Amino acid sequence: MKVFLIGAGPGDPGLLTLKGRDALAAAHVVVYDALANDALLRHARPEAEKIYVGKIAGRHALPQEEINALLIAKAAEGKVVARLKGGDPYIFGRGGEEAEALVAAGIPFEEVPGVSSAIAAPAYAGIPLTHRDMTSSVTIITGHEKPEKSRSAHNWQALAASASTLVFVMGMKNLPHIVHNLLQAGMDPATPSALVYRGTTPRQRSLAAPLERLPAAAVEAGFSNPSIIVVGKVAQLHDSLGWFEQQPLFGRSVVVTRAREQASGLAQSLTELGAEVIQCPTIEISPLADYAPLDAAVERLDSYAWLIFTSVNGVRHFWLRLAQAGKDSRAIASCKVAAIGPATAEALCRRGITPDFIPQRYVAEGVLEGLLERESGQIEGKRFLLPRAARAREVLPEELRKAGALVDVLPAYMTVPAAHQKARVLERLEAGALDCVTFGSSSTVENFLALIPAETLKAHPETRLAAIGPVTADTLEKHGLPCHIMPERHTIPDLVEALKSHFGGRPCP
């Protein structure tokens, strides 16, 4: 029985602390709010109960008193509860109130600090809150104070006279009131100031302006909550030190259609380049109901001349069957091993196997040419084993059989359709705010079009379609869709570079 009050950080899921991640993974119940990035929920155990209690100005899923009662009730059931809060729980997060309620109820708790948006948003906008040549202190202030209050809780004269950097949170609605009070208290109208909207996320926007111009600049640029207001000399560094918004894919919205088990590398690479990644796996990797054919092949591995792996999943599931049979990598000592693509080769290397052959071209013809070369043109009568997905394309096995090989194509796993994030993708598409959809295989094209018809994509030609290689591009064209982006080498890193090249020189609208 314990409650962890966890700071989820300001929006970038990479800013969750390691301690916060571990506490989240240990929880039986996750109580989360609107400012906690959805990606963080993937750190929770799949069977954990997830309860949304989000609070946005004017709309509360649960009042604070009910949130307190919920935390107490779940913990009283003997469960570990993770209360996931945006930013830091103790900085304008009402975490102190929740902690007091837990203490009063005799519930053990622990506060896990998070990175506050008051610090992180300016940093991502190129504004260091302290600088030895400009200021040596920071004042963090709520901007949520009602203008009609008879007496302000803030000492505006002290704030205006201070050499401190002023950071106002939750203050966009009151921006004119805040600026008016600072100017009335004697602050220089030319004081550098800045706004940062949705700091640390791919939707971040920022601007710098003299204090007296800040409200008008906010209106002209369409700024709203959630935004951080920074007032002080350090704001003048925004233009020279701003780094986050300069990334080559910053602000671009990119859909990744690969199965979630395969998507992490692509998604991470795109995120690191500033893109907003929408993971919309069109397939999920599922175990087979019957492994008897593959298990029988595992027992006669010494009869095969070659093992050919076409994917990381094929490697992973084949090794699971080896382990199930009480075997390990030594069982394939008599076989030569081919890996189609560097990711597959890396998966083999992690299991102590250096592939004998990695083709230069990851298409059936290229694989066949390389195998023929390594076998001095003689593969007739030799046995090949291909452990791979059920219902995969037959081109490579057919080419091998034409050359006289004996080929066993055995399913090691299966792919099933998935429909995660369909609504989000459609919403972005209809709003004209979806820059690109990436496809890593023909099956992802087919399954994506089963969710979102080709005619819908054709109605939005501004959305670019990217294919990892010519086979996938052909599948797009079969449905009457263009392939706008395709790398010369058909790998995930090269696909990332192709996207970077395509979008990198174009300003994001």
Phi first, then psi, for residue 406 (nearest 5°) are -100, 115
Question: Exposure of 34 by Cβ count < 10 A (0-12 exposed, 13-18 middle, 19+ buried)?
Answer: middle
Length of the chain: 509
Question: Exposure of 422 by Cβ count < 10 A (0-12 exposed, 13-18 middle, 19+ buried)?
Answer: middle
CB 255, CB 457: distance < 8 Å: no
Given the residues 33, 172, 336, 486, select the one marked as catalytic: 33
CB 508, CB 245: distance < 8 Å: no
CB 34, CB 67: distance < 8 Å: no
Report the SS3 class of residue 452: coil
Given the residues 74, 170, 187, 486, select the one marked as catalytic: 170
CB 294, CB 387: distance < 8 Å: yes
Given the residues 55, 336, 382, 500, select the one marked as catalytic: 55
Residue 254: strand pairing partners: 277, 436
Task: Give yes or no for a cis peptide into 453 (omega within 30° of 0).
Answer: no
Q: Is 149 an active-site residue?
A: no
Which residue from 15, 17, 31 is spatially nearest to 82, judged by alpha carbons?
Answer: 31
Q: Is 170 an active-site residue?
A: yes
Contact partners, residue 210, CB within 8 Å, separation at least 6: 189, 190, 191, 192, 193
Q: Is 33 an active-site residue?
A: yes
Which residue from 426, 435, 428 is spatially nearest to 456, judged by alpha carbons?
Answer: 426
CA 23 – CA 89 distance, rounded (Å): 15
Residue 416: strand pairing partners: 284
Question: Exposure of 333 by Cβ count < 10 A (0-12 exposed, 13-18 middle, 19+ buried)?
Answer: exposed
Residues known to be catalytic: 33, 55, 170
